[in-house]
Structure 1
């Protein structure tokens, strides 16, 4: 009788531990989903920033072309030509800087995509682990029910004796 009670207590403890583990894993999943959402928002932001920078680069490239054309026409005007050349150089530097910024943004976007993929795999693994724990919990609950039924039958038999 005491052994059955000990087994039942042990089963209760195991069930409580399993429930605690499930709660902990659910909290982890929730945290990872929140992180994933944050990463998706960051990706969206970087994508928008990337498109804005691409537009700006196109505008700057068109501006550089226009300034170079103006510089060619202004060869007759020495001082004017010199100032236009300086302006073109500044715009080219800005275009290179914008291009560099665009490349960095693309690299960050790629890294974020990699991290998001990694986190998605992690979430899937955690969900699988959670499902395993739920299955184990259900098995233990079934065993507990069977043992309880056996114990009740045993007690009924003991009561009849």
Structure 2
């Protein structure tokens, strides 16, 4: 009987551990979902920034061409042109970095989705294991009760003799 109690306790402990792991997996999934939402908002922000930067690049290129056409302001045009070209290069670098970050974020999102699917499968597997263990516990309890009844009947028959 003590062994059954120990096994029952162990099964309960395992079930508690499985439940805790499932809850942790759900918490992790929620955390990942929040991070995904934040990353999507970052993506939208970065896309808007890209649009603004592209518009700014177009304006800068127009300024450069206008400056080249104005001969009397040739020296100013040269300085402005160099400054604008540096700014364009910086903007292109920033655009490249933004695109790189977008690719990395997309990859992280894909990996997060894979992890979430893995945890969902693990939760399902643990739930199935829990159901099997509960079924086995019921069978063992029933067998124990039958054995106990047989023992009591045998002891009673010995007492009657």
TM-score of the aligned structures, taking structure 2 as reference length: 0.82
Deviations 1:12-37 (A, max 9, x none): 52452243034124213312421341
Gap runs ≥5 in structure 2: 68-76
1:44 equivalent among 30, 34, 41: 34
1:86 is displaced (CA, Å) by 1.1
Hey, what's the Cα distance between the residues in 1 that align with 2:103 and 2:36? Answer: 12
Correspondence for 1:74: 64
For the 8 Å contact 1:67–1:88, the answer to whether it is kept is yes
Say whether 1:27 aligns with 2:17: yes
Aligned to 2:93: 93
User: 2 CA distance for matches of 1:29 and 1:98?
Assistant: 41
1:43-101 C-alpha deviation (Å, 9 max, x unpaired):
32133123223322322332222232232233222221221121011111111101111
How many equivalent residue pairs?
A: 151
Measured on the aligned residues, the alpha-carbon RMSD in Å equals: 2.0
Q: Distance in 2 between matches of 1:132 and 1:15?
A: 18
Unaligned runs of 5+ in 1: 1-8
Q: Residues of 2 paired with 1:113 and 1:134: CA distance?
A: 31
**So what's the TM-score if we normalise by structure 1?**
0.82
Comparing both chains, which one has the higher relative contact order based on Cα–Cα distances under 8 Å and sequence gaps of 6 or more?
Answer: 1
2:52 is equivalent to residue 57 of structure 1: no
- Cα distance in 1 between the residues matched to 2:20 and 2:13: 10
CA distance in 1, matches of 2:91, 2:31: 32
- Structure 1 stretches of at least 4 aligned residues deviating more than 3 Å after TM superposition: none
Give the distance between the partners of 2:37 and 2:92, measured in 1 at CA.
24
